[in-house]
Chain A
Amino acid sequence: MGVIDFIINSILTQASITIALIAFAGLLLQRKPFGEILSGSFKTMLGFLVLSAGSSIIVGSLLYFGDIFSEGFGMEGIVPSIEAINGQAMNDLGLGNQIALTFLAIFLFNIILARFTKWKYIFLTGQALLWMATMTTVFGSAAGFSGLGLILVGGLVGGIFAVAMPAIAQPIVRKVTGTDDIALGHFCTIGYIFAAGVSKITGKNSDSTENIKFPKGLGFLSDTYLSVAIVMVPLYVITAIFAGAEFGSELSGDVNYIVYAFLQAVQFVVGVYVLLAGVRLLLAEIVPAFRGIALKVVPDAKPALDCPVLFPYAPNAVTAGFITTTIGTVIAMFVLPWFGLAMILPGMLTNFFAGGTAGIFMNAVGGKRGVLIGGIAHGFFITLLPALLVPHFNNLGFVNTTATDVDTVTAGLFFEWLIHPIMNLFG
C-alpha cells in the first residue's frame, strides 16, 4: 500500500510526470520502438518544465507592468495572452495535471463526436486544444468541479467546441477553398462568424481585396517575437514615463527606470519565446500519436487545420483583416474603460492570426468594404469578450492578463455565466 500511496500522492500529482505518461501511452499505442517511447516521454516532460520556466518569466514582467500601469494611469492595464493564462494556470494555480488530462479528454470526446455524429471534424491544431483545455479546467474548477468530474466536463465542452467550431465555419471555408474535404481548426471561429456577418450586411457588391495593391512595409511582422516586442516595448516605456521616475526607480533599483522598463518588455517577449518553445516540445510527441488514432477511428474525417490553411486563397485579405482588426482593438482599448471594463492592450499575435483569417471570411462575403467595417467590428468584439472575463481572472489570482482566442473565452464565459450559477443552485 505504501508504494501505491507514494505513486498516487507523490508522483502522479506532478503534472510534468502525468504529461510524460500520457505521451508514453500515446507512443506505446503507436507501437514505437522502446527507445523512442522513452525519449519521447522524456522530451514531453522537458517541454512542460520549459513551459513553466517561460511562465515565470512572463509573470515577473506582468507584475512589474501592472504596478507601473496603475501608478501611471490609475487603472488596470491588461495584457491579453492565452500563453500567460496557460502558464499561470499550470503552475501558480496548480492545475497542470488536470489541464493535461482534460487535453486528452477533449481529444477523446472529439473522436467520439466525430465517429457517431454527422460532424466528421477532427481538430488537428494541438496548441489550440491546449488553450481550450486550460480554459475549461480553470473555469470548470472555479465552478466547483474537481477530480474526474472536472476532466470529463472540460473534455465534453472542449470536444463539442472541437467539432462545432469547424462546423459553423464550414459554409464559408467551403466557399473559399472550393472543397468540403478540409476544415478550419482555430479557436477564434465565433469572431470569424461575427465579422463575416457584419461584412455581409455592410459590404454588399464590394470588390474583392485581392484587386488592391498593398504597399509593403509590414516586414517587421515576419518574426513572431519581433511583432510582440514592437507593441510591448513602447507600451512599457511610455507607461514607465507616466508612472514617473520616483515610482519607477523604486522598482528598478540601481538601473535607470526607463532602461528597466525597456528590459522588462524584452523579458515579456523572452517569456513568450520560452513558453511557446515548451509548448512545442510538450505537444511534439502527444499530438501525432493521438491524431493517428483519431484518423484511424474516423476514417472519413474532415481534418480541421490551423488558420494558415486559408491564407493562400486571399493573401491581401489577410493583411487587410490584420490592419482593420488592429484598428478595432485600439478603439476598444480606449472605449471599454468608459463602461467600467478594464483597459485591454492590443495583442499583436491574435490580431495577426485571428484578424488575418477574419479578413478572408469577410472578403468572401463582403469584399473590401466588408473587410474594413467588419474588421473594425471584429477587433472590438475580440477585445470586449476577454474584457468581460477580467474580473473572473482577477478573482482567481491571475496577474494582469486575460485570454485571447474568442472560442476559448466563450467557453470560459459559458462556465462562469451558466454552469457556475447552476452548480451554486445545487451546491
Chain B
Amino acid sequence: MPFFKRNKKENNVKSEVQKEVKKEHLTEQIDNYLSKLEKNESEDPTHILNMLGSLYFEKEDYDNAIKYYEESIEQRKTLGKAFTDLVKLYNIKRKEASQEGDREKVQVYLQKSDDLMKLTKDTIRGNM
C-alpha cells in the first residue's frame, strides 16, 4: 500500500509541475498578444481580443477573460466563441458570487447573461 501512496504523491507533484508549465506557456502567449494589441499590429483586433479572452479563460483568470471578450463583442458582433464562452464565464462568476453570498454580484452576472441573450437574438436576426 505505501508503494501506491507514494505513486499517487508523485503523480500529484507531476501534474502540479505540468500545470505550472502550462500556466507559464499561457502567460507567454498572453504577453505576446497583449503587445500585438498595444502596437496595433494586427488588421483584425477582434481576433486578438478573442484570443486573449480564450487564453485568460484557460488560465482561469475569469475577470480578464470577460474583459477581453466583452471588448471583442463591442467591436464586432460575430456569433461564435466570444458569445459561447461569455455565457459560461458569467455562469462561473455568478456561481462564485452565490457561494460568497454576494447578492448584488449574483444579480450583476444574471443581468449580464440576460443582456447577452438579447444581443444574441438581435445579432442572429440582423445576420439573416
B84 at the interface (CB under 8 A from A): yes
List B residues 37-65 near A (Cβ within 8 Å). none
Question: What residues of chain A lie closer than 8 Å to B126, measured between beta carbons?
Answer: 219, 222
Question: What residues of chain A lie closer than 8 Å to B128, measured between beta carbons?
Answer: 214, 216-219, 221-222, 319
The answer to whether B88 touches A221, judged by C-beta atoms less than 8 angstroms apart, is no
The answer to whether A315 touches B79, judged by C-beta atoms less than 8 angstroms apart, is yes
Known: A124-B110, A312-B79, A315-B79. A292 touches B124 (CB 8 A): no
Question: What residues of chain B lie closer than 8 Å to A319, measured between beta carbons?
Answer: 128
The answer to whether B124 touches A311, judged by C-beta atoms less than 8 angstroms apart, is yes
Cα–Cα, bound, A273→B113 (Å): 24
Cα–Cα, bound, A309→B85 (Å): 11
The answer to whether B103 touches A311, judged by C-beta atoms less than 8 angstroms apart, is no
A205 at the interface (CB under 8 A from B): no
Least Cβ–Cβ distance between A99 and chain B, in angstroms: 23
Cα–Cα, bound, A30→B84 (Å): 30
Question: What residues of chain A lie closer than 8 Å to B122, measured between beta carbons?
Answer: 222
Question: What residues of chain B lie closer than 8 Å to A299, measured between beta carbons?
Answer: 95, 98-99
A306 at the interface (CB under 8 A from B): yes
The answer to whether B98 touches A318, judged by C-beta atoms less than 8 angstroms apart, is no
Q: Within the complex, which residue of A217, A218, A313 is in contact with B84, where a contact is CB–CB below 8 Å?
A: A313
Least Cβ–Cβ distance between A321 and chain B, in angstroms: 11
The answer to whether B79 touches A182, judged by C-beta atoms less than 8 angstroms apart, is no
Known: A288-B110, A299-B98, A303-B94. A312 touches B117 (CB 8 A): no
The answer to whether A182 touches B110, judged by C-beta atoms less than 8 angstroms apart, is no
B34 at the interface (CB under 8 A from A): no
B121 at the interface (CB under 8 A from A): yes
A252 at the interface (CB under 8 A from B): no
Question: What residues of chain B lie closer than 8 Å to A306, measured between beta carbons?
Answer: 117
CB-CB contacts of B112-128 with A at 8 A, as 1s and 0s? 01000110111011111
The answer to whether A312 touches B80, judged by C-beta atoms less than 8 angstroms apart, is yes
A181 at the interface (CB under 8 A from B): yes
Task: Look across to chain A and name the residue whose beta carbon is closest to the beta carbon of B88.
Answer: A179
Question: What residues of chain A lie closer than 8 Å to B79, measured between beta carbons?
Answer: 311-312, 315
The answer to whether A30 touches B103, judged by C-beta atoms less than 8 angstroms apart, is yes
Question: What residues of chain B lie closer than 8 Å to A223, measured between beta carbons?
Answer: 125
Cα–Cα, bound, A200→B25 (Å): 42
Cα–Cα, bound, A229→B15 (Å): 60
Least Cβ–Cβ distance between A208 and chain B, in angstroms: 15
The answer to whether B87 touches A309, judged by C-beta atoms less than 8 angstroms apart, is yes
The answer to whether A308 touches B117, judged by C-beta atoms less than 8 angstroms apart, is yes
The answer to whether B117 touches A309, judged by C-beta atoms less than 8 angstroms apart, is yes
Least Cβ–Cβ distance between B88 and chain A, in angstroms: 6
B107 at the interface (CB under 8 A from A): yes
A177 at the interface (CB under 8 A from B): yes
Cα–Cα, bound, A296→B80 (Å): 31
Question: What residues of chain B lie closer than 8 Å to A312, measured between beta carbons?
Answer: 79-80, 83-84, 120
Least Cβ–Cβ distance between B12 and chain A, in angstroms: 25
Which B residues fall within an 8 A CB radius of A?
Answer: 79-80, 83-84, 87-88, 91-92, 94-95, 98-99, 101, 103, 106-107, 110-111, 113, 117-118, 120-122, 124-128
Instruction: Give 29 CB contacts A-B under 8 Å.
Output: A30-B103, A177-B88, A179-B88, A182-B91, A218-B128, A219-B126, A221-B125, A222-B122, A288-B110, A288-B111, A292-B110, A295-B98, A295-B106, A296-B103, A296-B106, A299-B95, A303-B113, A306-B117, A309-B117, A309-B120, A311-B83, A311-B120, A311-B121, A311-B124, A312-B80, A313-B84, A315-B127, A318-B124, A356-B124
